[in-house]
Amino acid sequence: MPRALKINPRDNVAVVLNDVQSGEEVVVNGEEETIRLTAREEIAFGHKIALIPLEADQPVIKYGEEIGRARVAIPAGNWIHLHNLYCQRGRGD
């Protein structure tokens, strides 16, 4: 079964440690607990999976800190990357 790592207890995303297929169950290991979650999309090794449903503009937390905000509402189990996560800091313009 594919695995994912929730790096900090505050995080609302985890990093998948295997390539994950849509519909596959993922075991998410965290410091405090291990949970199971169904991936709703294909997610490549090293990429992020939403652990809870996120509203548009809600902070995305990884390493215990805000790394950016959701562009749109993101259901739990979805892939999070450039298409649905933005960060004011470090934009090219």
Partner 1 sequence: METFMGYRRPRGLPGVRNLVAVIPSVFCANTVARQISDRVAGTVSFCHPVGCSQVGLDLELTARALKGLGRHPNFYGVVVVGLGCERFRARELAESIAEAGKPVELVIIQEEGDTLKAVDKGARLAAKLVEEAARQPREEFPLSQLCLGLKCGGTDATSGLAANPSLGWVADRIVEAGGAAIFTEVTELLGAEHILARRAVNPQVAGAIMATIADMETRLQAATASCGIQNRSALISPGNEDGGVTTVVEKALGGIHKAGRSPIRGVLAYGEEVKGPGLYLLDCAGHDGEAVTGLVASGCQIVAFTTGRGTPTGFSGVPVVKITGNSATFQRMQFNIDFNAGGVIEGLSIAGAGSELLRLIKRVASGEPARAELLQHNELFCVTRV
* Contacts with partner 1, residue ranges (CB under 8 A): 3, 5, 7, 15, 17, 29, 44-48, 62-63, 65-68, 80-82, 85-87, 89-93
- Shortest Å distance, C-beta 38 to partner 1: 20
Radius of gyration for the chain, computed over Cα atoms and rounded to the nearest angstrom: 13
Q: Of 34 and 38, which CB lies nearer to partner 1 in the complex structure?
A: 34
- Shortest Å distance, C-beta 80 to partner 1: 7
In our burial notation (b when 16+ CB lie closer than 10 A, e otherwise), range 62-85 reads beeeebbbbeeebeebbbbeeebb
∠ CA 87-65-75 to the nearest 5 degrees? 70
**Is 82 in a helix, a strand, or coil?**
coil
Q: Of 19 and 25, which CB lies nearer to partner 1 in the complex structure?
A: 19
In angstroms, how far is the first alpha carbon of the chain from the final one?
42
- Shortest Å distance, C-beta 23 to partner 1: 20
Q: Of 68 and 77, which CB lies nearer to partner 1 in the complex structure?
A: 68
